[in-house]
């Protein structure tokens, strides 16, 4: 597989995400048990069903390695040899799934080097896809409907629209928000927060709290191809597979790249 012409691959990945979403929704409509993983995060049968399906289907369309949240025990000594690989969160927003509020997604990304070059985010409850590939732009589609090009807002409005995590509000985040100009805060789960920036609905998503690489990769591609940025708090683009830990640093997602969003951070 080459990474020069990725657009044809998007349709295959969208189809995989959509069927995984169907498997998630089947369990969503039933009674289900919740297990707790070693890192204290919740796990359901929906996470596992989506993981099994996605990894099986990705293996059919390429021979690339696959790193999924539900199979993350792969030593860095092995991972650092990877040049190109799939990075998957089969069910992003398990806490929102458990609460049955609809704010959960299927995230499938392709990483090349340390950068994400293809991303598909699928929202099972609404049937909405966000997808992008390097050099191809960013798009939104509902079901089998028309595909729309999406772009971030080009300039900052008088009153910012900020999106934040529904389940992970830290004191550091509260302090960052207190330093911002006038804004409206919308709380939401999963990678949908990045997608709202990408489609021009929100201006800023500050994540002053923990996430993992599979939480952000697919939606980061959408944001970047829509004209926005995903930066760590040192001002560097969020990168992948560069260290033993799969945890992301704190980061900011923003539409207007001419603004200095780092200046509101705590000293």
Q: What is the DSSP letter of 249?
A: P
Share of the chain above pLDDT 90, in %: 83
Nearest CA among 20, 152, 35 for reference residue 94: 35
pLDDT tens sequence across 111-166: 999 999 999 999 999 999 999 999 999 999 999 999 999 999 988 899 999 999 87
pLDDT at position 260 over 90: yes
On the 0-12 / 13-18 / 19+ scale of CB atoms within 10 A, 265 is: middle
pLDDT at position 233 over 90: yes
Q: Say what the pLDDT of residue 61 is.
A: 95
**pTM for the whole thing?**
0.95
Domains of the chain: 7-149 (3.30.540.10), 160-264 (3.40.190.80)
SS3 of 203, please? coil
Per-residue burial over 200-217, b = 16 or more CB atoms within 10 Å of its CB, e = otherwise: bebbbbbbbbebbbbbbb
Q: Say what the pLDDT of residue 182 is.
A: 95
User: What tokens does 48 get?
Assistant: 């596992």
One-letter-per-residue 3-state SS of 48-68: HHHHHHHHHHHHHHCCCCEEE
User: What tokens does 104 get?
Assistant: 């959960």
Average pLDDT over residues 193-199: 98
User: What tokens does 185 get?
Assistant: 């805060």
Q: Say what the pLDDT of residue 167 is.
A: 67
Which one is predicted more confidently, 167 or 88?
88
SS3 of 245, please? coil
Q: What is the DSSP letter of 205?
A: E
């Amino acid at each position: 597989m080459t990474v020069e012409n990725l657009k044809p691959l998007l349709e295959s990945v969208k189809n995989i995400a959509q069927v995984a979403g169907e498997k998630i929704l089947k369990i969503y409509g039933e009674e289900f048990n919740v297990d707790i993983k070693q890192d204290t995060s919740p796990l359901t049968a929906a996470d596992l069903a989506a993981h099994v399906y996605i990894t099986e289907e990705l293996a059919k369309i390429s021979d690339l390695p696959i790193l999924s949240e539900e199979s993350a025990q792969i030593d860095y000594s092995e991972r650092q040899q990877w040049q190109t690989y799939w990075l998957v969160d089969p069910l992003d927003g398990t806490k929102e799934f458990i609460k049955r509020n609809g704010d959960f997604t299927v995230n499938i990304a392709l990483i090349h080097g340390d950068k994400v070059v293809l991303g598909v985010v699928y929202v099972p409850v609404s049937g909405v896809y966000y997808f992008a590939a390097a050099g191809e732009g960013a798009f939104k589609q509902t079901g089998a409907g028309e595909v729309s090009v999406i772009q971030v807002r080009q300039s900052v409005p008088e009153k910012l629209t900020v999106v934040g995590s529904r389940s992970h509000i830290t004191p550091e985040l509260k302090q960052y928000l207190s330093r911002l100009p006038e804004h409206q805060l919308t709380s939401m789960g999963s990678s949908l927060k990045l997608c709202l920036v990408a489609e021009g609905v929100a201006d800023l998503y500050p994540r002053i709290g923990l996430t993992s690489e599979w939480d952000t990769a697919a939606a980061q591609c959408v944001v970047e191809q829509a004209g926005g940025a995903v930066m760590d708090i040192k001002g560097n683009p969020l990168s992948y597979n560069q260290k033993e830990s799969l945890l992301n640093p704190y980061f900011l997602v923003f539409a207007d790249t001419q603004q200095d969003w780092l200046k509101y951070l705590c000293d």
